[in-house]
Amino acid sequence: MDDINKQVLTEKTIRLLQNNQYTFDVELESTKTEIKNWVEKFFNVKVKAMNSLRSTKKKRNRRIRIKKSVVDYKRMIITLQPGYSIPLFLNE
């Protein structure tokens, strides 16, 4: 459970729920295999596919005008086999 930070609930991710896709923010060091194994064991579901993305923040130094990209978080979109579901978390 330490690798998954929170379940993401936005307008887009709520639309993805119709396709049996769930979105989680995870630790930057986590791999797809680790998250897949954990989700299958903890929620007792079968994972069909997984997509990941790393969001970046851009920082700019005004004097030199150099832009740097800093990785902010890693997000996983997990697609489940038909007939399986994950309960929604309440984010606080």
Q: Is the pLDDT of residue 90 over 60?
A: no
Q: Are strands 4-7 and 21-26 parallel, antiparallel or unpaired?
A: antiparallel
Which structural domain, as residue segments, surrounds residue 32? 4-80
Is residue 12 one of the residues assigned to a domain? Answer: yes
Residues 73, 28 contacting (CB under 8 angstroms): yes
Distance CA 42, CA 36 (A): 10
**pTM of this prediction?**
0.78
Residues 53, 17 contacting (CB under 8 angstroms): no
Look up the CATH number of the domain holding residue 43. 3.30.70.330
Distance CA 50, CA 59 (A): 29
pLDDT tens digit string along 39-74?
A: 999 899 999 999 999 877 766 666 666 666 777 789
Q: CA angle, corner 27, sides to 68 and 74, nearest 5?
A: 50
pLDDT tens digit string along 2-28?
A: 788 888 888 999 999 999 999 999 998
Q: Is the pLDDT of residue 91 over 60?
A: no
